[in-house]
Amino acid sequence: MAYFTSLNKYKDFGLLIMRVGLGAMFIYHGYPKLMGGKEIWTGLGGSMKYVGITFLPMMWGLLAALAEAVGGLLLILGLAFRPVCLVLIINMIVAAASHFGQGDGLGGASHAVELGIVFAGLLFIGPGKYSVDKK
């Protein structure tokens, strides 16, 4: 029994909803980090220690903030979609590692893990036809 099979023809619209929703939330979270300046970037980049990288925390923090804010915009547009998904997967791996490293356990890291899984799936699915990257 397939109750909603008629929705199959709207897969691209579903991808658009996901892209716009996730992109908007990443802009919402990333923009304040991006505008926060050196102190925020250094604190954010300090999370890299949980994946064994201890140099240039300010640079890593700025890159993470850019990944969230600019990556969110690119998600919405569907531009450079797969590379953006890959960058955001890496960002979520570091975020999850940070939560685990701080002793938050799976409960604390679950949001980053979930988003990493979503971006991994989207990496394979692609942006859909309502995107700048459409083929």
* Residue bearing tokens 């709207």: 10
CA distance 116 to 123: 10
pTM of the model: 0.92
Helix pair angle (11-35, 105-125), 10° resolution: 130
- For 126, phi then psi, to 5°, come to 95, 175
* Amino acid in position 63: L
Q: State the virtual CA torsion across 56, 87, 19, 22 in degrees, nearest 10.
A: -40
pLDDT at 133: 82
**CA-to-CA distance for 1 and 121, rounded, in angstroms?**
26
Show me where the domains of the chain are located.
Answer: 12-125
Q: Which two tokens stand for residue 3?
A: 């109750």
pLDDT by 10s per residue, the chain, length 135: 578 888 888 999 999 999 999 999 999 999 999 999 999 999 999 999 999 999 999 999 999 999 999 999 999 999 999 999 999 999 999 999 999 999 999 999 999 999 999 999 999 999 999 999 876
Determine the pLDDT at residue 16. 96
pLDDT on residue 14? 94
Among 116, 133, 114, 113, which Cα is nearest to 16's? 133
